[in-house]
Structure 1
C-alpha cells in the first residue's frame, strides 16, 4: 500500500498540526482509530483518535498526562479527542509470555505495577471512580433474565459493593492492565498503554490479569494459577490474597456485562462472557481457601 493510502484517512489538519509525514494503520475499533505515525523529525509515535463511543477513554489520557511516563507511555500531545502518544514498541506481554513463560511475564507485571503506583503528586481531576466503573454490573445484576447469569452477577455485584465500601489507599489506577496493554520494543523497556484512568483501591489494578491473556482459557480457570497470582499480587500490593481474588471476581462480573453490551448478544454468542463466567465459577470456589 502506498504512503498516501496509509495516511488518507488522517485529516490534513492533524497531519499539519503534529508534523506527521507517514502513517501505518493499526486498529479501527468501536472506541478509536489508531495509527503508528512517522514525524518529520524522524521519530515515530502513536496517533489515537477517539470515536463518540470512545469518550469514556478520555480519563485514560488524563491518567497518562499525570504519570508523565512513569510506568506508562508518555502523552506527547492532546487536542480534544485526539492524542499523540509515545511509541513503546509492538512486542506485547502476551507474545513474550508464550516464549518465556508465566513466571517471567508476572515479574514484568509486578514491575509495571510498582512504577504505575509510585506517587506522581496530587491526583488529577477527571478520573472515573470505581463506583461509576461498575455501573453496568449493578444494573444488569438486577434485571438479568438468563438464569445462568442472574445468580453469578448478583453474587459478583454483592462482592463489589462490599469492596467499594472498604477501599483503602485510594489512588489513580490504570484500570485495564493486561497482557496486551503491556508492550516493549522502544528505548524505555516495558510500558503500559491504553489506560482507563480510574481512581480507587490499588487491588483493582490486577483484576483483569486473572482473565488474560487471550486464548488461554485452560490457564485462566486453573486453580493453581489463580492461587499463584493471588500470592504474587498480594505481596506486590501489600494486601490480603482474599482481597485480590474478590476484586478479580468483581471484574469478571463487570466484564461479562460489558461484553454482552458491546456485542449486543446473548451469553452463548460471546466468547469473552463465557470465559469470564467460567473463571468466576472457579474463583468463587477458592475464596474460602484464601480467607484469613
Structure 2
C-alpha cells in the first residue's frame, strides 16, 4: 500500500512527510475530525516490523503509541508528539532522561490481560546475526565479538522470564507532546528476556562515543534499569554488550551509509568498555 491508498482508506487530509528510511515511510496527517495521526508504510526491507504492529496492538496504548488501524504493510497510529527523549536529555541531563526511560520501560513491561501475539520474533532468532556467524564481523575486534557471541548464546539459553519486548528502545523512539506523558514508538516486536529491552538505550545518542562510552553513565543506567526489571546490573550490562556486538555486525554486513560504518565502530568501542567493566582480565 502506498500513501495514496492509505489516504483513501483512512480518509486522511493534510498529509506531510516525516521520514523516509530504508525500511519505512512515515507521514503526519489529519483525520476528518481534525485529529493528528501518523501513517507508517513499511518498505520491503522493513517488513520485519509487522511484528511491531502486533506488539502495539497487544499493548493497547500502555507505554506505547496506540495502534488505530492497520492494513497489509501500513498502519495508522496515535500522534504522540514531537519531543524526543534525546531533546529532553539535551535540556534536562542524563539522570532525568534515564528516569523517563525507566518509567516507560516499567509501563511496557507491565502485565497485560491479553495473551502475547503469536507473530513476535523470538530473541534467539533476532540474535542470529551474531550467534550464528561463521567468522567475526570485524577482524580488529575479533576477540570481543567472539566473546560477545558466546555470551549471547549463554544468555539466550537461560532467558527468564520470557515476555513481549519492544526491542528497539532508545532516545529517539520515546516521544512526548509536552514532556509529561511519554510513549514508545517503532517497536520491533520481540519476545524474550526483559533485560534486553534496556540494551539499546546505552548506545544512544548516536555518534557520541564520548557519552555512550562513559563508564559512570553506563553504570548509572545499569543500576536504574536493573531495579525496574528486577535483575542484576551484570545481566543488564551483558545484554547491552551483546546488543552492541549484534548492532555492529548488522552495520558491517549491510551498511547503508558512512554513518553506519561509524556507528559500528562506536558500538564496538562500547562493547570493549563494557567487557572491561564485566571482567578486569580480558583474554582470547
Counterparts of 2:126 and 2:82 in 1: how far apart (Å)? Answer: 28
The structure 1 residue matched to 2:271, chosen from 280, 283, 290, is: 280
Counterparts of 1:249 and 1:92 in 2: how far apart (Å)? Answer: 25
Question: Which consecutive residues of structure 1, in runs of 5 or more, have no partner in the other structure?
Answer: 1-8
State how 1:97-116 maps to structure 2 within 5 Å: 97-116=89-108
How many residues matched? 279
Counterparts of 2:15 and 2:257 in 1: how far apart (Å)? Answer: 35
Which residue in 1 is equivalent to 2:117?
124
The structure 2 residue matched to 1:88, chosen from 75, 80, 83, is: 80
The structure 2 residue matched to 1:198, chosen from 190, 200, 203, is: 190
Q: 1:250 to 1:187 in 2, by over 3 A?
A: closer
The structure 1 residue matched to 2:167, chosen from 164, 175, 189, is: 175
State how 1:11-90 maps to structure 2 within 5 Å: 11-90=3-82
Which residue in 2 is equivalent to 1:137?
130
The structure 1 residue matched to 2:261, chosen from 246, 270, 277, is: 270
Calculate the TM-score normalised by the size of structure 1. 0.91
Secondary structure (helix, strand or coil) at the match of 2:69 reads strand
Secondary structure (helix, strand or coil) at the match of 2:227 reads helix
1:32 is displaced (CA, Å) by: 0.5
Alignment RMSD (CA, Å): 2.0
Calculate the TM-score normalised by the size of structure 2. 0.93
Counterparts of 2:11 and 2:60 in 1: how far apart (Å)? Answer: 22
1:144 is displaced (CA, Å) by: 3.3
Question: Which consecutive residues of structure 2, in runs of 5 or more, have no partner in the other structure?
Answer: none
For the 8 Å contact 2:2–2:41, the answer to whether it is kept is no
Which residue in 1 is equivalent to 2:236?
244
Counterparts of 2:8 and 2:179 in 1: how far apart (Å)? Answer: 26
Which residue in 1 is equivalent to 2:141?
149
Q: 1:76 to 1:230 in 2, by over 3 A?
A: same
